[in-house]
């Protein structure tokens, strides 16, 4: 039976430190739907539930990774990961990677990706990070529009970035400076060389 939606859906983004079996199942379903539709993950072909569950359980265990999940009316429909550099990379300790960001096709167009990226940036800035880096296949036009609308600067294009369905695809690289809200501005710390 189909459900008639009345009014605006309820949207939420949170940092996941543990996942209930129900949330993990929804997360795996959302991930697979995004992979099948064409991206958001390194995987280009559909994965079984067990492989995806192993991936997300592993993410929760890695100290340098933070998993963010997006909910629409309570159901997990997307996620993103914030990856900090390893401890020995002191020179780049101020920068992190925003990766594996997607919203399932059935939950797009509500503003949830914007909320997801805003939350990742907020958390990154709150933990002292000053730069977010990300990269995206040139074919992922919605993601490119999203990141450019959110102020990410494209600084380069890799011509042989990915292989998808036997084809080589270029990829764009972006960065964004974050302002932590206190202390010296990022421009004065990083902008001036
Ligand atoms: C990119 C993606 C995350 C957008 O999710 P979404 O929840 O539908 O996006 P939002 O509703 O929050 O849209 C926010 C902004 O993104 C841009 N945008 C999103 N979808 C767009 C589309 N289809 N065409 C053009 N711009 C788009 C717009 O600027 C939009 O702002 P607006 O609605 O005020 O115009 C989703 O399409 C997706 O998961 N794509 C595949 C995965 C992917 O490419 N991930 C990036 C790799 S890291």
**Residue 45: Cβ-neighbour burial (10 angstroms; 0-12, 13-18, 19+):** exposed
Write the pLDDT tens digit of every residue in 39-50.
778 888 999 999
CA of 181 to the centre of ligand 1 (A): 27
Residue nearest to ligand 1 atom 15, measured at CA: 146
- Residue 2 has a pLDDT of 46
Domain boundaries, the chain: 11-191
User: Is residue 133 within 6 Å of ligand 1 at its C-beta?
Assistant: no
Write the pLDDT tens digit of every residue in 147-185.
999 999 999 999 999 999 899 999 999 999 998 767 778
- Residue 184 has a pLDDT of 78
pTM score of the predicted model: 0.94
Q: Which CATH homologous superfamily contains domain 11-191? A: Gcn5-related N-acetyltransferase (GNAT) (3.40.630.30)
- Residue 187 has a pLDDT of 75
Taking 50 as the pLDDT cut, the residues of the chain under it are: 1-2, 192-193
């Amino acid at each position: 039976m189909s459900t008639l939606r009345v009014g605006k859906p309820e949207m939420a983004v949170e940092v996941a430190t543990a996942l209930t079996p129900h949330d993990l199942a929804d997360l795996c379903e959302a991930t697979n739907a995004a992979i099948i539709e064409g991206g958001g993950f390194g995987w280009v072909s559909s994965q079984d539930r067990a492989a995806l569950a192993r991936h997300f359980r592993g993410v929760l265990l890695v100290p340098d990774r933070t998993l963010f999940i997006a909910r629409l009316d309570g159901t997990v429909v997307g996620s993103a990961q914030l990856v900090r550099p390893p401890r020995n990379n002191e020179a780049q300790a101020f920068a992190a990677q925003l990766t594996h960001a997607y919203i399932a096709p059935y939950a797009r167009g509500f503003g949830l990706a914007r909320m997801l990226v805003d939350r990742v940036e907020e958390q990154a800035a709150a933990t002292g990070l000053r730069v977010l880096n990300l990269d995206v296949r040139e074919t992922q036009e919605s993601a490119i529009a999203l990141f450019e609308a959110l102020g990410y600067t494209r600084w380069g294009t890799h011509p042989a970035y990915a292989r998808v369905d036997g084809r080589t695809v270029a990829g764009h690289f972006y960065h964004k400076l974050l302002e932590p809200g206190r202390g010296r501005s990022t421009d004065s710390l990083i902008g001036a060389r």
